[in-house]
Amino acid sequence: MAKTKKIIQFRYYTMPVGDYILAELGDGWIREYGLGYGDMQHFHNYMEVGYCYDGHGKILVEDQEYRYQAGTFTIIPENIPHTTISDPGNKCKWEFLFIDIDEFVSNEMEKSRLSAEELVRKVNEQVFIENDDGRKNLAQFIHMIIEECRQKKPFYKDVLKGLLYSFIVEIIRMNGEEITFDRHQSSRYISTAMNYVKEHFFEDIKISKIATICGLSESHFRKIFEDAMNMKPNDYINFVRIMEACKIIRKEDISMEELGIRVGYMTPSTFSRNFKKITGKTPYQWKTEERTKNSFMTDANITAEKGWT
């Protein structure tokens, strides 16, 4: 009997302009998790922080299984496959924070003795699935960030910056304890590839170079990537480039020709063709029709799904 392929789903979120945290809060997150998805795992373009208020079930992170209950919190870096599954018939209440670690570290922690790249790497080293009576400092920061996002009192964004700074430092401290997380080898390859694309999307990326970095032949790498992601490596590269282009459009007044070059396209026609393929709009249409909105790529033509709401 042929072995069933495990498909990993890419669930992406769009961060509001000028923010580092996207908070998904409220009773809309009371549900039986996993219904309709089985044990299919997914990953995000931001760090996911979750807190369980009620219910119980299991969390799958790659090939490892953990139990959760009320009081469990999770910290899952970007690009790590995972899923939450309620015990049968059990509705659970979670709330989630999606955090743009890269932007925060680059903009708000530039005076650190470590480079931005090293800080991001240290923050993303480890998955945490803990009870709030264990890692009390982390749990406290999560609670405080959630409540600031919920209440939105005057100057709450300034408060959030301070809390997020402390939260990140605490994660780095915890990672200094050398906690180990045994990742499945194929997931390591995929994560390595995605991290390379994130850091080099503006360059002329060769699949053969990514395969070499992963220690694989090009044909073997393509097979592993396509089996897991249900998309070709070049499709993922284009997706990352177009997401970056949308971010730039929302922040800067820039010509489309220059924008295409900045995200790795040598010709305006190639940039425009890929932009429309993924977003359903030309760059000019997206700029004029969607620039002020908090979301994009709702109808993205790629094997990916917009984050839950």
Domain ends where: 175, 210, 230? 175
Q: Any bridge partners for residue 30, and if so which?
A: 93
pLDDT value of position 146: 97
Q: Are residues 119 and 137 in the same domain?
A: yes
Q: Are residues 154 and 43 in the same domain?
A: yes
pLDDT value of position 188: 75
Q: Is residue 110 part of a domain?
A: yes
pLDDT value of position 297: 38
262 CB burial (10 A radius; 0-12, 13-18, 19+): middle
Domain ends where: 175, 208, 233? 175
Q: Is 34 left (phi over 0), alpha (psi -120 to 50) or beta?
A: left
Q: Is residue 35 part of a domain?
A: yes
CATH assignment at residue 133: 2.60.120.280
How far CA 135 is from CA of 60, 61, 101, in Å, comes to 20, 19, 20
Written as six digits, the tokens of 286 are 């997206």
Ranges of the chain with pLDDT below 70: 1-7, 110-114, 175-186, 290-309
How many distinct structural domains can be found in the chain? Answer: 2
Q: Are residues 271 and 128 in the same domain?
A: no
pLDDT value of position 1: 40
170 alpha-carbon distance from chain centroid? 20
- Which single residue is written with the structure tokens 């029709």? 289
- Which single residue is written with the structure tokens 């599954």? 85
Domain ends where: 144, 175, 206? 175
* 31 contacts 91 by C-beta, under 8 angstroms: yes
Q: Are residues 201 and 294 in the same domain?
A: yes
Q: Rounded to an integer, what distance in angstroms lies between the CA atom of residue 271 and that of residue 248?
A: 14
Q: Is residue 1 part of a domain?
A: no
Q: Rounded to an integer, what distance in angstroms lies between the CA atom of residue 267 and that of residue 284?
A: 16
pLDDT value of position 68: 96
- Residue 149: CB atoms within 10 Å: 20
Q: Are residues 72 and 147 in the same domain?
A: yes
298 CB burial (10 A radius; 0-12, 13-18, 19+): exposed
Q: Are residues 157 and 240 in the same domain?
A: no
Q: Is residue 2 part of a domain?
A: no
Largest CA-CA distance found in the chain, in angstroms, rounded: 61
Q: Are residues 127 and 195 in the same domain?
A: no
Q: Are residues 89 and 212 in the same domain?
A: no
pLDDT value of position 290: 57
pLDDT value of position 273: 92
Q: Is residue 276 part of a domain?
A: yes
Q: Rounded to an integer, what distance in angstroms lies between the CA atom of residue 121 and that of residue 102?
A: 10
* 47 contacts 101 by C-beta, under 8 angstroms: yes
Q: Rounded to an integer, what distance in angstroms lies between the CA atom of residue 136 and that of residue 143?
A: 10
Written as six digits, the tokens of 108 are 């708000």
Q: Are residues 157 and 189 in the same domain?
A: no
Expressed as residue numbers, the domain containing 277 is: 185-300
Written as six digits, the tokens of 250 are 């929302």
Q: Is residue 4 part of a domain?
A: no
Q: Are residues 168 and 29 in the same domain?
A: yes
Q: Are residues 16 and 141 in the same domain?
A: yes
Q: Is residue 180 part of a domain?
A: no
CATH assignment at residue 221: 1.10.10.60
Q: Is residue 248 part of a domain?
A: yes
262 alpha-carbon distance from chain centroid? 22
Q: Rounded to an integer, what distance in angstroms lies between the CA atom of residue 77 and that of residue 121?
A: 10
Q: Are residues 192 and 150 in the same domain?
A: no
pLDDT value of position 300: 39
